[in-house]
Chains A and B, each alone.
Chain A
């Protein structure tokens, strides 16, 4: 009997179907918990799903690579979903044209705030130089952030983790912070989510309003480009 279960586990754990299905289940559990307990931001579905999956992988002793064999089918859709952000962007093109100058100002100030706050706080809390370089591009979408980290001498793998955690943090605390500083303008809320927490912030903004979503997508793309240019220049100034 025990041998049968082991054999079944060996079969299932090597097929992509298992972790693909479990990822979908974990996310739906996250959505259910979020809706069941009054949409509290701390119960963000992505956060719940990641926690549940990390615990399951630890309990079953599954390597991330084995998990990713199944989960890659979901991960793959990130590419087309990013390309498709052109559609909400095009819908809001009139609003974007009208607010072109405010977009550029808030982009540059926000991008600097993201870099300097990350590096400054990590330094004040005793972070080593390697950690500071790893954290500097944390507000930028993963592929750009990893590229920058490699270029400036950080740890790209840890940067990827910091990027995801920054995205989730932005979604969890973003609305609270924006309400607290009385930012109610939908274009400004979108910019804030896009600059501070890239695609995860954009996913959140998109679900709140079309205008916020479009501005967040724009801010994410522009902040990625700006940080890639700004950060190496900023570091060579400091040296």
Chain B
């Protein structure tokens, strides 16, 4: 358990270091995720303990966003000042993005499937 938690933190540490050194606009944890993924991909092994650490972290994933969400409090005045474009862009814009992405993925999936069946004898 401890070894696998350390492994995750180590990937993050390497990721953060790469971000700092290269000044890439990519957050350290995202690079850490790529590193861990490559490790799993090339070793072709999935330690059971690693799965249980990930399971624990992901069971409460929504909770982890609460402290950042409370950060809304620091910009309340600015938000009230331009509430209409903010609310419009966030609510309607998000609805459009969800619908467009989902529809395009579903359509592209359906188009691709007949091709794949042709490839298989």
Residues of A bordering B, CB below 8 Å: 23-24, 26-27, 45-46, 49-50, 53-54, 57-58, 64, 67-68, 71-72, 74-75, 77-91, 93, 98-99, 101-103, 105-107, 109-110, 113-114, 117-119, 121-128, 131, 135, 138-139, 141-144, 147-148, 151, 155, 157-158, 160-162, 164-170, 173-174, 177-178, 180-181, 183-185, 187-189, 191-193, 195-197, 199-200, 202-204, 206-207, 213, 217, 219, 221, 224-225, 228
Contacts and interface: CB of A to CB of B under 8 A. Distances in A.
B18 interface: no
Contacts, number: 319
B106 interface: yes
B58 A206 contact: yes
Interface string B4-22: 0100110110010000000
Interface residues of B, number: 73
Given A83-B36, A131-B82, A228-B25, A110 B101 contact: yes
Interface in B67-106: 67-75, 78-79, 82, 84-86, 88-106
B73 A64 contact: yes
Interface of B: 5, 8-9, 11-12, 15, 25-30, 32-37, 39-41, 46, 50-51, 53-54, 57-58, 61-75, 78-79, 82, 84-86, 88-106, 108-109, 111-112, 116
